[in-house]
């Protein structure tokens, strides 16, 4: 295990109401104590927009960061019925925003649109968790690297504030299926993503890259053996305090 900061990010998706604050409460009690012993990690919970404000108030201690899960590409306010801008998310207390999630790409979000959203978010100093990943068909046709390259190069530019972009590698066939890639594939893919990013944008440092897709309290022990992985984007399991806490605990076992 390296000495680098490790991220544990919950992606609640379209779940939760005001009563879900008790989940946050349980996680915060655990994490406040845990953080005193195990320092080099960061916990972020990305919730529906309806919960950002109340959750942010609950975690004033700054131990846990709150994030959003998408935004409009327009930089401030505008006539876009039903949409929320990065500026509005920032003003309500979000520190992070997930962009490019495959569940949104599958609804028509293009590489170009995601780029605009990244730019809008960086402009208001939101940290971006940028999701990339291949379908099973692409994997079977050995197109994983070309797909990832296209997603990275198509949505990021050298002039962006690269330090505020975290990449989340989420193979689409892993999300919600209970399947994760082999250790061999993950090692190869993480090295590829990091080198591609460094080379494409001539950045001095390697980016932070998370793994997402069916992470649970069992497979985390396999995933923790891969030092290239800088953290995890956890969907379903992050909505159960016990499962989410066990993922963090078991990572360090
Ligand atoms: P999952 O979702 O952990 O439920 O597979 C991950 C994600 O979609 O970010």
pLDDT digit string (tens) for 100-124?
999 999 999 999 999 999 999 999 9
Q: How far is the CA of 175 from the centre of ligand 1 (A)?
A: 5
**Which residues does 44 contact at the CB level (< 8 Å), separation at least 6?**
7, 8, 9, 10, 64, 65, 66, 67, 95, 96, 129
Q: How far is the CA of 103 from the centre of ligand 1 (A)?
A: 10
Q: How far is the CA of 236 from the centre of ligand 1 (A)?
A: 6
Nearest ligand 1 atom to the CA of 98 is 9
Q: Which of 103, 109, 138, 170 is catalytic?
A: 170
Residue minimizing CA distance to atom 9 of ligand 1 = 235
Q: Which residues pair with 158 in a beta bridge?
A: none
Q: Which residues pair with 72 in a beta bridge?
A: 85
**What does DSSP assign to residue 206?**
P
**Would the CA dihedral through 122, 72, 98, 189 be positive or negative?**
negative
**Which residues does a 6 A CB cutoff place in the pocket of ligand 1?**
11, 170, 175-176, 212-215, 233-237
Residue minimizing CA distance to atom 3 of ligand 1 = 235
pLDDT in tens, the chain (253 residues): 456 899 999 999 999 999 999 999 999 999 999 999 998 999 999 999 999 999 999 986 678 999 999 999 999 999 999 999 999 999 999 999 999 999 999 999 999 999 999 999 999 999 999 999 999 999 999 999 999 999 999 999 999 999 999 999 999 999 999 999 999 999 999 999 999 999 999 999 999 999 999 999 999 999 999 999 999 999 999 999 999 999 999 999 9
- 25 is a catalytic site residue: no
| E-assigned strand segments in 27-78 | 41-46, 64-68
Nearest ligand 1 atom to the CA of 175 is 5
Model pTM above 0.85: yes
Rg (CA), the chain: 17
**What does DSSP assign to residue 92?**
H
Q: Which of 72, 95, 101, 109 is catalytic?
A: 101
* Percentage of the chain lying above the pLDDT 90 cut: 95
Query: What whole-number distance in Å separates Cα of residue 228 and Cα of residue 226?
Result: 6
Report DSSP letters for 191-235, one per residue: HHHHHHHHHHHT-SSPPEEEEESS--TTTHHHHTT-TT--EEEES
Q: Is the Cβ–Cβ distance between 128 and 97 less than 8 Å?
A: yes
Q: Is 243 helix (H, G, I), strand (E, B) or coil?
A: helix
CA 137 to chain centre: 23
Domains and CATH numbers, the chain: 6-251 (3.20.20.70)
**Which residues does 68 contact at the CB level (< 8 Å), separation at least 6?**
46, 47, 49, 52, 84, 89, 94, 96, 97, 98
- 138 is a catalytic site residue: no
Q: How far is the CA of 233 from the centre of ligand 1 (A)?
A: 7
Nearest ligand 1 atom to the CA of 237 is 3
């Amino acid at each position: 295990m390296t000495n680098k900061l490790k991220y544990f990010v919950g992606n609640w998706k379209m779940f939760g109401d005001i009563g879900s604050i008790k989940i946050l409460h349980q996680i915060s009690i655990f994490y406040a104590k845990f953080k005193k012993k195990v320092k080099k990690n960061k916990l972020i919970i990305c919730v529906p927009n309806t919960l950002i404000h109340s959750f942010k108030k609950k975690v004033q201690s700054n131990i846990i960061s709150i994030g959003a899960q998408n935004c409009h590409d327009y930089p401030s306010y505008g006539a876009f019925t039903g949409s929320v801008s990065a500026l509005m998310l920032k003003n309500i207390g979000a520190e992070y925003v997930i962009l490019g999630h495959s569940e949104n790409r599958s609804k028509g979000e293009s590489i170009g649109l995601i780029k605009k959203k990244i730019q809008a978010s960086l402009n208001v100093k939101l940290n971006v968790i940028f999701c990339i990943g291949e379908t099973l068909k692409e994997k079977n046709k050995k197109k994983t690297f070309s797909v990832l390259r296209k997603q990275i190069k198509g949505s990021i530019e050298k002039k962006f504030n690269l330090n505020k972009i975290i990449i989340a590698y989420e193979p689409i066939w892993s999300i919600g299926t209970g399947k994760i890639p082999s250790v061999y594939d993950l090692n190869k893919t993480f090295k590829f993503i990091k080198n591609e990013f460094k080379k494409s944008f001539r950045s001095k440092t390697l980016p932070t890259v998370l793994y997402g897709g069916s992470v649970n309290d069992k497979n985390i022990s396999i995933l923790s053996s891969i030092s290239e992985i800088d953290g995890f984007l956890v969907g379903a399991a992050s909505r159960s305090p016990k499962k989410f806490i066990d993922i963090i605990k078991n990572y360090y076992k």
